[in-house]
Amino acid sequence: MPMYEKLYFDNEGGKSFHYLKYTPESEDKQRKLPLVVFMHGAGERGEEDGSELDLVARHGFFKKVARGKEYPFMMVGPQCPKNEYWGSYLESLNSFLDYIIDENNIDTDRIYLTGLSMGGTATWLWALGNPERFAAIAPVCGQGINWYAGKLTDMPVRVYHGDIDEVVSVHESVEMVSSINRKGGHATLKLFHGVKHNAWDYAFEDEMVEWLLQYPISEEGNKQ
């Protein structure tokens, strides 16, 4: 049985959507939990009635949760409706994050953002627009805006991409990492050699978890 809840975010005045929520079974109700926000790809969009919400668990950490793996963080995965794109949801995603924080015992210094393909692009766009909201980000085979990358110089960034990706060129990640670092940041890129667009099959491992969870937001800002 999947170890996640299927829920609905009713966003009055904005875009509403269904989402998955994972809470560790061993949760200490008194302890604030880190939060991972997972943004799925174009292939996991679903019907607006939520009937295809399990598609969000096709890849990434939710896939592992569905198979019984436990993680030391809460995780939410909103679902973008079919024929829509995450780029038009950024304002509503901020409202969603506010809602998740209000309704749960979240450590707001340890909120992390990751996603794959269309969700990797959403990870870049959301972090570029609201870098103060996240302790660290891990985009997987997405596209950023390299001329705006200076917004992420204080953000821990780890990027994953297959080096023969035929859908989203690896140069998209190379340019983002290079631009962040030229502007004074410390982004890193993990390339998977001989891997096409399915970099997510290799990225969502314990290595990413360990990398993300080492970063809280510090009082001085979000520097690595």
Q: Among all chains, which residue has been given the structure tokens 């690896």?
A: 170
- pLDDT of 88-110, one tens digit each? 999 999 999 999 999 999 999 99
Cα dihedral across residues 48, 59, 176, 219: positive or negative? positive
Q: Can you point out the beta strands (E) in the chain?
A: 5-9, 17-22, 33-39, 74-78, 106-116, 136-140, 158-162, 188-192
Q: pLDDT value at position 30?
A: 74
Q: Does the pLDDT at position 196 exceed 70?
A: yes
Q: pLDDT value at position 25?
A: 84
Contact by Cβ (8 Å): 153, 204: no
- Bridge partners of residue 162, in order along the sequence: 192
Q: pLDDT value at position 96?
A: 98
Question: Exposed (0-12), middle (13-18) or buried (19+): which is 24, by Cβ within 10 Å?
Answer: middle
Q: Per the structure block, which two tokens stand in for 79?
A: 């679902």
Cα dihedral across residues 72, 126, 10, 8: positive or negative? negative
Residue 15 amino acid letter: K
DSSP three-state, residue 20: strand
State the average pLDDT for the chain. Answer: 94
With a pLDDT cut of 90, the percent of the chain lying above it is 91
Q: Does the pLDDT at position 27 exceed 90?
A: no
Apex 200 CA angle, 197 and 205, nearest 5:
155
Q: Is the pTM of this model over 0.85?
A: yes
Q: pLDDT value at position 155?
A: 95
**Helices 90-103/118-129 angle, 10° precision:** 80
Q: Among all chains, which residue has been given the structure tokens 């880190």?
A: 34
Q: Which CATH class is domain 5-213?
A: alpha beta
164 or 2, which is more confident: 164
CA 212/CA 89 separation, integer angstroms: 24
- pLDDT of 100-138, one tens digit each? 999 999 999 999 999 999 999 999 999 999 999 999 999
Local confidence band at 218 (pLDDT 50, 70, 90 cut-offs) = low
- pLDDT of 35-60, one tens digit each? 999 999 999 999 999 999 999 999 99
* Cβ-based neighbours of 182, under 8 Å, separated by 6 or more: none
Q: pLDDT value at position 31?
A: 85
Contact by Cβ (8 Å): 73, 113: no
